[in-house]
Amino acid sequence: NFRSLRIEELQMAARAAAEKVRTTGAPYRFAPMSSRERRIVHLALREEKDLRTESDGEGGRRSVVVYPGNYKSAAKSERRPVP
């Protein structure tokens, strides 16, 4: 079933992104995805106490960003729009 394969693929990508963030200490931004797919990524990493996830962007360009737990991201009002 395509849907279950896609869910598994997103969960694996979330785990890989988590390891990359832990290794580099830098945020990882996923490619833009639907709200349903973003939710799957957020849920896959919700138990990771040393990381946090945020959705960023507008409309069809919205994506998930995985941050180290202590990383300071810009407040939404301070973020520059992506051209």
Q: Which pLDDT tens digits describe the chain residue by residue (83 residues)?
A: 999 999 999 999 999 999 999 999 999 999 999 999 999 999 999 999 999 999 999 999 999 999 998 887 655 545 555 54
Q: Which helix (H) or strand (E) holds 71?
A: none
Reported as half-sphere exposure (CB side, CA atoms, 13 A), residue 81 has a value of: 3
Residue 80 confidence (pLDDT): 54
CA angle centred on 70, ends 68 and 76, rounded to 5°? 85
Residue 71 confidence (pLDDT): 82
Residue 72 confidence (pLDDT): 78
Domain boundaries, the chain: 2-72
Residue 22 confidence (pLDDT): 97
What does the alpha-carbon distance between residue 26 and residue 20 come to, in Å, rounded to a whole number?
8
What does the alpha-carbon distance between residue 34 and residue 59 come to, in Å, rounded to a whole number?
9
Domain 2-72 has CATH 3.30.1370.50: yes
